[in-house]
Amino acid sequence: MKNSLYYSVLRYRPSYLLKEQINIGLLFVLPETEEVIFLFPNKLARITQFYAAADLPLLRKYLYALKSKSKKAIGSVEIFDNFIPKDASSLYFSEPKSGTFSNTEAAINYYKQLYFAPYEDIEIGRKDDAYLKKTFDAKLEAISPYKKLLFKRNVKVKNAVASTKFEFAWQNGQTNFVKTIGLDLSNTSNIQKKAFRWYGELSTLNETFTDANIDILVSRPSKKDLFKSYDDALKLLDTMKVSHRIKEENDFDAYIRYATETVITLPKLDFI
């Protein structure tokens, strides 16, 4: 016997103007049994590879609230119109799609695998943005605990739409902003998306950064077959017109030693 199934994809869009988004959940409606099923990935670490400032605890709160709501809901197609909490402005559902299936459980598992497999592909120990930030911080501490205090953390710079967050900022005659971009990702597509994402955002700072510089710290993929994609990503980032330097992992020690030797007190900046 064939059963009807409607589903919609929950998407996370941190900036409406930038129109960047990532799939974060699935809502299913089964009219015959009046069931409503909401699913989301067990691991959310993949989100921070694209949006480093994503508030994962808040996102989990919304996702669990939606899951709880689905268990109490009665299945009908109208549910897609008012399922999201009003204060969750960065979340929205795609237009619902429908189909008929002889095995509903198999169909749901198919869509779950289709949309959530990239989340499960995140491996423990990957050198992501957080790893690069911790590495930079640890090396500063090791070289000069005193000079470490001259490096300002979590600095936001106004861009064309809102603001760009940098992990560190320091001064040595010019202002240097440190951006960590972990490219130790699982496939070519993810490397490409992340490179284009940061190329676009950092490029908007060109007019603001007349007397400033961006130091981009990157990590190489663990998989050798992704080295070419990584090299292509660096070439793309290097074409930005905004003043910048790209530092790979084998450059970190020399870069941080130079920074600690030349750093001075960071002045007040009007574009932060």
Residues 13 and 110 in one domain: yes
Integer Cα distance of 180 and 249 in angstroms: 11
- Higher-pLDDT residue of 126 and 170 is 170
Instruction: Please give the distance of CA 153 from its chain centroid, rounded to a whole number.
Output: 19
Q: For 142-167, what is each residue's pLDDT tens digit?
A: 888 888 899 999 999 988 888 899 99
Pair 29, 93 in one domain: yes
Range of the domain at 104: 3-120
105 and 150 in a single domain? The answer is no
Examine residue 192 and state whether it is found in any structural domain, yes or no: yes
For the stretch 39-50, pLDDT in tens is 999 888 778 767
Q: What are phi and psi of 269, to 5 degrees?
A: -115, 135
Question: Per-residue pLDDT tens for 53-93?
Answer: 778 888 999 999 999 999 888 877 788 877 886 666 788 88
Does residue 113 sit in the same domain as residue 136? no
- Is there a single domain that holds both residue 138 and residue 244? yes
pLDDT, one tens digit per residue, over 169-217 is 999 999 999 999 999 998 999 999 999 999 999 998 987 777 899 999 9
Last residue of a domain, one of 66, 92, 120: 120
We report the CATH number of the domain holding residue 134 as 3.40.1350
Length of the chain: 272
Q: Which two tokens stand for residue 251?
A: 């450059």
| Same domain flag for 24 and 133 | no
Q: Is pTM, for the whole model, over 0.75?
A: no
- Residue 82 backbone dihedrals phi, psi, to 5 degrees: -140, 35
The residues near 23 (Cβ < 8 Å, ≥ 6 apart) are: 9, 10, 11, 12, 115
**139 and 248 part of one domain:** yes
Q: Classify residue 272: in a domain, yes or no.
A: no
Residue burial 154-190, b: 16+ Cβ < 10 Å; e: rest: ebebebeeeebebbbbbbbeebbbbbbbbbbbbebeb
